[in-house]
Amino acid sequence: MISTQGLLLTNHHCGDEFIQSHSTLEKNYYENGFWAASKSEELPNPGMFATFIIRIEDVTKQVLENVTEEMHPKERQAWVTRNTERVKSEAQREDYQDVMVRPFSKATSISCL
């Protein structure tokens, strides 16, 4: 974040879809970039949002609790889903934060956002 009004810097691929939607043959923002000299010149991007990760934890053990290699894939997935929901519900977080459990580099992690 670089301003109190929500201006942030990120990698260009994060806004790729929006850069494309604003670009034309005459205004090629991929090649020439874009700079708004004032707030009124900014280009709106409805629906775009940013996620701020507060914490990442390895929750692989909890997600795989009671799961075995011998299980049928449907049973295995049922346990993973049940365990994932438990991990999310037990996560310590603030009321304004959301919790996501995602696979991450051969491990499962929890993110409080």
Mean pLDDT, rounded, for 41-48: 88
Confidence at residue 108, expressed as pLDDT on a 0 to 100 scale = 54
Is the per-residue pLDDT at 16 higher than 60? yes
Residues 9 and 30 in one domain: yes
Residues 59 and 102 in one domain: yes
The tally of domains found in the chain comes to: 2
Residues 39 and 70 in one domain: no
pLDDT band at 14 (very low <50, low <70, confident <90, very high): confident
Residues 63 and 43 in one domain: no
Neighbours of 83 (CB within 10 A): 20
Residues 74 and 44 in one domain: no
Confidence at residue 28, expressed as pLDDT on a 0 to 100 scale = 94
Q: Tell me what the pLDDT averaged over the chain comes to.
A: 87
SS3 string of the chain?
Answer: CCCCCCCCCCCHHHHHHHHHHHCCCCCCHHHHCCCCCCHHHCCCCCCCCCCCCCEEEECHHHHCCCCCCCCCHHHHHHHHHHHHHHHHHHCCCCCCCCEEEEEECCEEEEEEC
Residues 64 and 45 in one domain: no
Confidence at residue 80, expressed as pLDDT on a 0 to 100 scale = 95
Residues 43 and 87 in one domain: no
Residues 81 and 36 in one domain: no
Residue 34 belongs to what domain range?
1-50
Q: What predicted TM-score, i.e. pTM, was given to this entire model?
A: 0.63
